[in-house]
Homo-oligomer: A and B are copies of this chain.
Amino acid sequence: MTTSVAPKALLFDVFGTVVDWRTSVARQVGDALGSSVDAYAFADRWRSLYQPAMEQVRSGVREFTRLDVLHLESLRTVLSEFDIDLPDSQVTDLNLAWHRLTPWPDSVPGITRLKSRFIVAPLSNGNIALLLDMAKNASIPWDAILGAEPVRAYKPTPDAYLRTADILGLRPDECMMVAAHNSDLAAAREYGFRSAFVCRPTEHGPEQTTDLVAESQWTANVGTITELAEVSGC
Contacts and interface: CB of A to CB of B under 8 A. Distances in A.
Interface of A: 68, 119, 127-129, 131-132, 135-136, 142-146, 149-150, 167-169
Contacts of A143: 132, 135-136, 145
Which 3 A-B residue pairings sit nearest by Cβ, starting from the closest? A129-B169, A144-B145, A150-B150
Contacts of A145: 143-145
Given A68-B169, A142-B144, A149-B150, 13 more contacts: A119-B132, A128-B146, A128-B167, A128-B168, A129-B168, A131-B144, A132-B143, A135-B143, A136-B143, A143-B145, A144-B144, A144-B145, A145-B145
A203 to B, nearest CB: 25
Contacts of A68: 169
Given A68-B169, A136-B119, A169-B68, A128 B149 contact: no
Contacts of A127: 167
A119 B135 CA distance: 11
Contacts of A169: 68, 129
A84 B144 CA distance: 36
Contact of A150 (B119, B128, B131, B142): B128
A146 B131 CA distance: 13
Contacts of A135: 143
Contacts of A119: 132, 136
Nearest to A130: B169
Nearest to A168: B129
6 contacts: A119-B132, A119-B136, A128-B168, A135-B143, A142-B144, A144-B145
A68 B129 CA distance: 26
Contacts of A146: 128
Q: Which of A129, A131, A146, A168 has the most C-beta atoms of chain B within 10 angstroms of its own C-beta?
A: A129
Q: Which of A68, A135, A144 has the most C-beta atoms of chain B within 10 angstroms of its own C-beta?
A: A144
B149 A132 contact: no
A185 B90 CA distance: 36
Nearest to A131: B144
A150 B147 CA distance: 11
Nearest to A66: B167
A128 B135 CA distance: 18
